[in-house]
Structure 1
Amino acid sequence: MTTFIKSVLVDLQKKQLNLEELIFILPSKRAGVFLKHHLSTLLDQPIFAPEIQSIEEFVEDLSGLKNIPNTDLIFKLYETYKNNTHSQDLEPFESFSKWAQILLQDFNEIDRYLIPQEQIFDYLSDIKELDHWSLEANQTELIKNHLKFWKHLKNYYAEYSESLIQSKQGYQGLIYREAAKGIENYIQLSQNKTHVFLGFNALNTAESEIIQSLLENNRAHIYWDIDKSFIDDPIHDAGWFTRQHRTQWNYFNTHPFNWTTSLYTEPKNIQAIGIPKLVGQAKYIGQLLEDLTKDETNLSNIAVVLGEEHLLLPVLNSIPEHITKLNVTMGLSLQFVPLASFFEQLLTLHKNNPEHFYYKDVIGLLSHPSIYPLFETKTSNISNELVAHIQKNNLVYISVNELETLSKSHKELITLLFQSWNNSPTLTLKQCSDLIFKMKEHLDTNKQHNALELEYLYRFNILFNQLSELNSKYDYLNSIDALQTIYRELLSSETLDFKGEPLEGLQIMGMLESRVLDFETVIISSVNEGILPSGKTNNSFIPFDVKIENKLPTFKDKDAVYTYHFYRLLQRAKNVYILYNTEIDALKGGEKSRFLTQLEIEGIHDVKHSIVSPEVPIIEKSLKQISKTPLVIEQLKTLAVKGFSPSSLTNYIRNPMDFYYEKVLGIKEFEEVEENIAANTLGSVIHNSLEDFYKPLEGAFLTIEHLQGFKSQIKPMVTKHFEDLYNKGGFSKGKNLIIFEIAQRYILNFLNLEIQSLKEGNEIKILSIEADEAIEIKIEELDFPIKIKGKVDRVDMCNGITRVIDYKSGKVSQNQVEIVDWEDITTDYKKYSKPFQILCYAYMMRQQNQIELPIEAGIISFKNLNGGFLKFGKKEKPGGRLKNQMITEETLDNFEIELKKLIAEICNPDTNFIEKELD
């Protein structure tokens, strides 16, 4: 394949031009490396290399101004803004910087397209005057300020551009405008220089005037790279700009428009492949490369062009191992580096200058991969200990003093992370720099292993040095919030550049980096609508109609730029793989690009379509089973001696695997910070409060005076138990305060229910409160003793009938304490767990001869107090009437049969623990 650059060099040789004296001007710096390479292949003797410049470098030399970073430009613009705005109307830097970026882009466009400043700024001001949204005859202060901004815009621009020119600095647009002004003078001073422009497409007005002036004065040659299929088609966007140049440039009235090719129509293997998700595309690229590169001889003729920059890391991780040579043109944006999220979290933590830190923020920082290794000691990791302390003590908010006390061995590091920064950007930058050097000390212990992490640190050190310099020079950053805004701005523009040999190996690049370069095999990712092309985006203060009127570029021009780059990649390629995302990701993806549809409609090439997806193995769903080994049986015997509780038995009924993990293996549930009071904590508070109230009344009759006395003590009693159970969580505000009030209301309503019952003439005697019960039972199939234990919430006597009562803080209805068939009580957790528990309590008390049958057993539900005492009952059939609500000897005998069967099953070595499917 003969590349475009090589074709240009061959033509220059034919014209017998002295290559050493030429100045080559290219769309990008990278193309210059390839130009030198192709030049070396055409020479048979050494020469001095010609001057090779990118268009930006050439224009910068022409203007005499130096391009400065975008962040510096924003600070300088704020200086101008301050000088031209009354102090009462002045916005703080953090809010200014959010719209200043858009304003700079508009200044840039206005200058690059050489729009007369007076004309466009007056025009904009007049439009906004006509456009304001108030229907009132007299303008409000808001509208006056809004219009004042547009009237001042011309002054901002004039003073800003003048101050930059005086300091020999500029943004890109200003540099282009000054270069266009000075082109005539340059031509006079460079009589012997010949310029070669190659590979250009979309030119702004300044570029167009500069190139035309050089052409008309015989100081230049221009080489377009356009195919006849595009330029001769009046509606094809790939030839949109080149058609304009051909018809509008005076130079082409007397000179031929050369360098149109007919390569696009040559046979090509074009495959359009739909793949779900971005990572799916990255993995498929790796698979394609595996197939295309059995040997590395053809690697340099393969290019992977990424439509989205954040696909870079997944693609790099998907490259086959045998590809050892590659060149990455696009840099990795610093915002995708792990350290970026660490400093973002740190700045967010400190920007409100809190006295106490929210536990999730603290845990997030302590567990971050960038800082976690610094807490390691010989025996443990202090970070883990701090997190465990927060969880154990239920600390929703924690102070820096408490953190320092708990981590004396790493107090300096904790101070760096959490000591107040007093909303001072200067202190913030110092602390961040100190943290970077702390991390470096740790990573230096194994430099070879930590090479990449050290490179990340180096780039972030540069970034914070830039911020420190800007802060000390301009002193506009008066808060951490303002600093964070500029930090994010720098982060999005700074990249971590890769080193590689551009002429060897696999080439990985973005769409713009592909300019002027040609490859036989091209893999293009993310060819989705909204990405390639990016579609209708308007990040500008200048309305669409004003842009059209002044011939400023709109989203349509941007689409045409990407159309050209896309088709130019296909122009000389023989194999093209176009990948697109079939799934909808956020606001983009799912719809293949119009470029693909256009390829199909053209009918020039046969585009092969396919949809691929990862191979998903069919995994047969099977329930887990655990066999009862001798060790498991021994553990079950130990449990049996200690005692099975009704809740542990219902846990087995619900799911035997849960019972196995919790009781046999002793695996506890992960202890998280209970940010909002959980239902079980609320239940425990109610139980414990009622125990403290009623326990002293055991053996006594309940009176209205007792209950009225309890009512006056509800708040201190509930407070005491919340403090005991909720540790340092706090319940004085938010949801916790509501739950605290609910607990008091539940107890108050319950006491009022008891008072009402007494007033109705019922006589209640308290027999026992929260009594610990335990019995031993003998099961024929088992040769070891079995113990059942539990705590009965309340046993009382109401009008001579003994009642066994279980409190429930959740909602329970009458049908949930009734059964039909005894066999179901140990198999259906959802329906019968509550009858099982209350019958367990009644059974234990009967075995200890603490009650005389018949009795009643049931539940009092605090969410259904109107239901009263919900008694256990036996039905003949579902939906039928209750046969009996009294618990008799027959009732407990029937229950005993099922209870023993259940325990025998649990302890049977031949019956596995089998997982249940939960609804």
Structure 2
Amino acid sequence: MVSFISKVLKELISSEENISEITFILPSKRAGSFLLKELSALGMYHIFAPKVYSIEEFTEIISEAKTVDNTITLFEFYKVYKSVTPEEAQEDFETFTAWAQSLIHDFNEIDRYLIDHKSFFNYLADIQDLKHWSIQEPKTELINNYLAFWKSLPTYYDGLKKELLSQNNAYQGLIYRLASEKIIDYAQNHPTKHVFIGFNALNTAEQQIVQHLLEKDIAEIYWDLDEVFVKDRQHDASLFINQYLKDWPVYKKRKAKLQVSEYHKPKKIQLTGIPKNVGQAKYLGELLAELDEETLQETAVVLGQEDLLLPVLNSLPPNVKDLNITMGFPLKNAPIASLFDKLFQIHQHTASAYYYKDVISVINHPALNEILKQQNRNFIEKIQSENTVNLSSKEIINAFSGTAQSVVKACFTNWENSPSKALEAFQEMINQIKSHLKSSGRKLALEFLYHFHVLFNKLENLNKAYPHLKSISSLYQFYKETISTQNLDFQGRPFKGLQLMGMLELRALDFKNIIVCSVNEGVLPSGKSGSSFIPFDLKQTYKLPTYKEKDAVYTYHFYRLLQRAENIHLLYNTETDGLNSGEKSRFLTQLEIEKQPAHQLKHTTVSPKVPAIKNELREIKKTPEIIEKIKSLAAYGFSPSALTSYIRNPLDFYRQYVLGVRDSQEVEETVAYNTLGTVVHDSLENFYKPLENKFLTAQDIEAFKAKIEKEIALQFKKSYLNGPLNQGKNLLIFEVAKRYLRNFLNQELERLKNEEIKILKIEENLRSEIKIGKLDFPIFMRGKVDRVENTNGITRIIDYKTGKVTQDKIEIVDWEDLTSDYDKYSKSFQVLAYTKMIHDQNSLDFPVEAGIISFKNLKNGFLKFAKKDKPRTKNKETAINKETLDAFEMELKKLITEICDPQVPFKEKEI
């Protein structure tokens, strides 16, 4: 395969041109590097290298002005905006940037296409005057301000242009305009030959420059488009070149340099649909694994989306030894970027305290965690143990010492909404992290850190030169704009090995083997995108590029890529979820419809191998060590909750009681159900404990009611520690707890009208031995009963529940079900367990009643345990007697025997 650049060079050499005296202009710097490489390979003798420029560099030379980036342009524009706008109508910098970026882009377009800005903006203002929705006269202030903005655009343009040129600076579009104005002087002073190679869509300024040099006969432009497309005037790939061939006066006198006939030659084209971007990366790795070193040298991988870079790098096979990456790694994807981003978000809204999750996310960030080490863990444990939701700056800083404290201080000292203080803090952080990374020898992390150091230096210098940033929020917005354009360049050998590139980096370059990823609509072509104040019809009137022309540019690049390639793989995402996915590019459909006779076109769909995963219930066999642990648990005493956890799922019992694994301690932002339960239980205990073995009176209840507020606050302080109770859901839960107690005590008052209540036990610890003949070790059951009372001569065993319990949840038909269905019978199991333990300790006088008081179901009062003969019958026995406890004990012993049986494993239950 002979590349286009090589073909042009051979033609120039054969025409006996002095190559060293030629000025070459190409679409990109990369194409210029390949030109010098091709020239060195073709040279039969030693020559001086010619001048090689990208088109941007060339226009800068002609214009004799210095290009400034978008950032500087934006700051200069704000200075101009303030100078021409009345003070009372001025917007802050943050609001200004929201629309100024789009306007600068439009200024660029107007200049690149050499449009008279005054008539253009006047036309635009008239359109907006016609379009606005207000029909009343006189116009409202809102409409007047709206129209005043559009009428101000010529002033903004003139002011920005004047300000930049006074410093001999210009944004790119203005550089092009200046170059088109100065091309006559340049041509007179530089009469040497100029050669333009590989161009397609030229803006008006570029066209004027090229045409003038062509007319002066000191230039040639070599077009790279196959005759297949040139002859097809309806094909988007030839839209621009055919237009130039028709409109440029120079082509009425001489023939264009356009002799390309490559596309019709034999090509193997494979279209492959693959689900997800990661799937494309993995399949790409498989394709590359089949290529030898020589083939890889002639292969280019084109990534339609920059997000694919990391997945592709992680999927490269071992045979890819040399790799050249022309795409930069986005700095915003660097690991440390998330730390700076989080700090910006925290400090945007300056408050008296920091939310604990924000604090933990910062100090747990990998960049800081290695510096803070044990101090970090201790601080997090302190937050969790004290249940602290909001932390002051002083609390956070004082929790650390030494180097760790200086880093934390930079993170959490109040920046007072000052951009300069924020930038100082970031630089302090970077210096501290740098010292740590140097000692640990982590070069890649240091490289990332250095680029952020440069970025923050740039922001500092801009903030000093242009004091427009007034808040952390405006600095953050500007930081995001800046970082989105920053890349970390990879080092490689540019002309050796596999080439990994973006679509635009391939301009004027040719490869024998091409693999293109993400050939989807919205990517290739990119579709309707980009913000602009200029409506579509106005762009058409003034011949500014619209999305149609943008699509034509992508069409040209796509087909030019295929012209000389012999083996082509085009991959696209088949998934329908997410943006820019699911629909294959129109280019693939075009390839199928317009297939050339010599092209071998194959369409396949690839999907990953997904092995069938068989979900088996887990099983833990009881080793001698586990049996010993169970014996010690039995000797200490099984609680009703431990036994019901085994009924629910034996693996839960194993993890919690055998292994001793507890749920990790977390900060309780919103009062949890169990905390609410503890508060209510403990409050009732404090009220009723002094009344043990005494009769309850209405005076006691009234005394309790007077203490509700104070008691609930005290119990929340004990159980909820530093958690906030004065706002949000917690305030509601605090009020709920008060209402629970008030309603309960009111119910007690109603009971006292008809019942005589004697309090026997409150929060009594219970323990009784369970004798099982098969087991030769002591077994106990233990628990804590909420309340035992005597009501009109009947003993009642009561369990409080702050959640909702209904009567059907405390009824049983078959005793065998008691130890098999947790959801239905766990409440019955618990109250019967308490009844048995009390009977074992004190030998109850039967019959007794046991049940639950549900604070969410107080209207139903005391919910008694009941034994029914049939599921739907209304006949039930609520009195508990010796036979009831004997039946329960039989099921209890079966359950404990199963737990202690070495032959019965802990087997997971299906949920």
User: TM-score normalized by structure 1?
Assistant: 0.97
2:315 counterpart SS class: coil
Conserved? CA contact 1:768–1:795, under 8 Å: yes
1:607 shift after superposition: 3.1
Q: Distance in 1 between matches of 2:870 and 2:759?
A: 35
Conserved? CA contact 1:342–1:365, under 8 Å: yes
1:297 and 2:284 matched: no
Q: Distance in 1 between matches of 2:819 and 2:880?
A: 18
1:454 shift after superposition: 0.9
Aligned to 1:262: 261
Conserved? CA contact 1:629–1:909, under 8 Å: yes
Pairing 1:720-869 to 2, within 5 Å after superposition: 720-759=714-753, 761-869=754-862
Q: Distance in 1 between matches of 2:393 and 2:233?
A: 69
Aligned to 1:388: 381
Aligned to 2:665: 671
2:316 counterpart SS class: coil
Aligned to 1:89: 89
Aligned to 2:251: 252
- Select 2:569's aligned residue among 574, 577, 584: 577
Q: Distance in 2 between matches of 1:490 and 1:384?
A: 35
Aligned to 1:34: 34
1:705 shift after superposition: 2.1
Aligned to 2:308: 311
Instruction: Structure 1: give runs of 5+ residues left out of the alignment.
Output: none
Q: Distance in 1 between matches of 2:123 and 2:531?
A: 19
1:609 shift after superposition: 2.1
Equivalent position amino acid for 1:17 in 2:
E
1:494-530 CA distance string (max 9 Å, x none): 1101111111011011111111111111111111111
Q: Distance in 1 between matches of 2:499 and 2:436?
A: 35
Conserved? CA contact 1:698–1:766, under 8 Å: yes
Pairing 1:662-741 to 2, within 5 Å after superposition: 662-741=656-735
1:791 shift after superposition: 0.7
Instruction: Structure 2: give runs of 5+ residues left out of the alignment.
Output: none
1:334 shift after superposition: 0.8
1:675 counterpart SS class: coil
From the superposition, tell whether residues 384 and 609 of structure 1 become closer, same or farther in structure 2 (CA, over 3 Å): farther
1:338 counterpart SS class: coil
Equivalent position amino acid for 1:564 in 2:
Y
1:500 and 2:497 matched: no
Aligned to 1:407: 400
Equivalent position amino acid for 2:362 in 1:
L
Conserved? CA contact 1:299–1:504, under 8 Å: no
Give the fraction of aligned pairs with identical amino acids, expressed as a percent. 52
Q: Distance in 2 between matches of 1:596 and 1:627?
A: 58
Conserved? CA contact 1:860–1:868, under 8 Å: yes
Equivalent position amino acid for 1:243 in 2:
N
2:336 counterpart SS class: helix
Q: Distance in 2 between matches of 1:485 and 1:278?
A: 29
Aligned to 1:326: 323
Q: Distance in 2 between matches of 1:531 and 1:765?
A: 80
Q: Distance in 2 between matches of 1:276 and 1:371?
A: 37
Pairing 1:534-553 to 2, within 5 Å after superposition: 534-553=526-545
Conserved? CA contact 1:310–1:336, under 8 Å: no
- Select 2:413's aligned residue among 410, 416, 419: 419
1:757 shift after superposition: 2.2
Pairing 1:260-659 to 2, within 5 Å after superposition: 260-292=259-291, 295-376=292-373, 381-409=374-402, 410-447=404-441, 450-604=442-596, 605-659=599-653
Conserved? CA contact 1:277–1:585, under 8 Å: no
Conserved? CA contact 1:103–1:541, under 8 Å: yes
Conserved? CA contact 2:810–2:827, under 8 Å: yes
1:25 shift after superposition: 0.3
Equivalent position amino acid for 2:355 in 1:
Y
Aligned to 1:221: 220
From the superposition, tell whether residues 661 and 198 of structure 1 become closer, same or farther in structure 2 (CA, over 3 Å): same
1:453 shift after superposition: 0.7
Conserved? CA contact 1:330–1:510, under 8 Å: yes
Q: Distance in 2 between matches of 1:141 and 1:875?
A: 79
1:616-665 CA distance string (max 9 Å, x none): 22222111111111111111111111111000110111111111111111
Q: Distance in 2 between matches of 1:270 and 1:728?
A: 67
1:785-821 CA distance string (max 9 Å, x none): 1110111111112222111111111111111111111
1:446 shift after superposition: 3.3
Conserved? CA contact 1:873–1:882, under 8 Å: no
1:606 shift after superposition: 4.4
Conserved? CA contact 2:222–2:257, under 8 Å: yes
1:26-67 CA distance string (max 9 Å, x none): 000001111011111111110000110000000011111111
Range with bigger deviation, 869-878 or 210-219: 869-878
Q: Distance in 1 between matches of 2:794 and 2:264?
A: 99
Q: Distance in 2 between matches of 1:857 and 1:136?
A: 78
Aligned to 2:876: 883
Aligned length: 908
1:123 shift after superposition: 0.9
Q: Distance in 1 between matches of 2:100 and 2:60?
A: 23
2:782 counterpart SS class: strand
Equivalent position amino acid for 1:794 in 2:
R
2:797 counterpart SS class: strand
From the superposition, tell whether residues 607 and 386 of structure 1 become closer, same or farther in structure 2 (CA, over 3 Å): farther
1:878 shift after superposition: 2.1
Equivalent position amino acid for 1:499 in 2:
Q
Conserved? CA contact 2:634–2:780, under 8 Å: yes
Conserved? CA contact 1:600–1:606, under 8 Å: no
1:900 shift after superposition: 0.5
Pairing 1:108-123 to 2, within 5 Å after superposition: 108-123=108-123
1:84-108 CA distance string (max 9 Å, x none): 1111111111121122111110100
1:906 shift after superposition: 0.5
Q: Distance in 2 between matches of 1:707 and 1:520?
A: 93
Q: Distance in 2 between matches of 1:230 and 1:809?
A: 78
Equivalent position amino acid for 2:723 in 1:
G
From the superposition, tell whether residues 856 and 169 of structure 1 become closer, same or farther in structure 2 (CA, over 3 Å): same
Equivalent position amino acid for 2:358 in 1:
D
Conserved? CA contact 2:272–2:605, under 8 Å: yes
1:260 shift after superposition: 4.0
Equivalent position amino acid for 1:271 in 2:
Q
Conserved? CA contact 1:623–1:915, under 8 Å: yes
Equivalent position amino acid for 1:706 in 2:
D
Aligned to 2:22: 22
Range with bigger deviation, 341-350 or 847-856: 847-856
1:354 counterpart SS class: coil
1:429 shift after superposition: 0.9
Range with bigger deviation, 561-570 or 627-636: 561-570
Q: Distance in 2 between matches of 1:68 and 1:771?
A: 81
1:533 shift after superposition: 1.2
Aligned to 1:127: 127
1:875-917 CA distance string (max 9 Å, x none): 2222223331111111111100000100111111111000111
Q: Distance in 1 between matches of 2:577 and 2:363?
A: 31
Conserved? CA contact 2:68–2:171, under 8 Å: yes
Q: Distance in 1 between matches of 2:48 and 2:577?
A: 52
1:644 counterpart SS class: coil
Q: Distance in 2 between matches of 1:834 and 1:602?
A: 74
Q: Distance in 2 between matches of 1:671 and 1:268?
A: 64
Range with bigger deviation, 821-830 or 125-134: 125-134
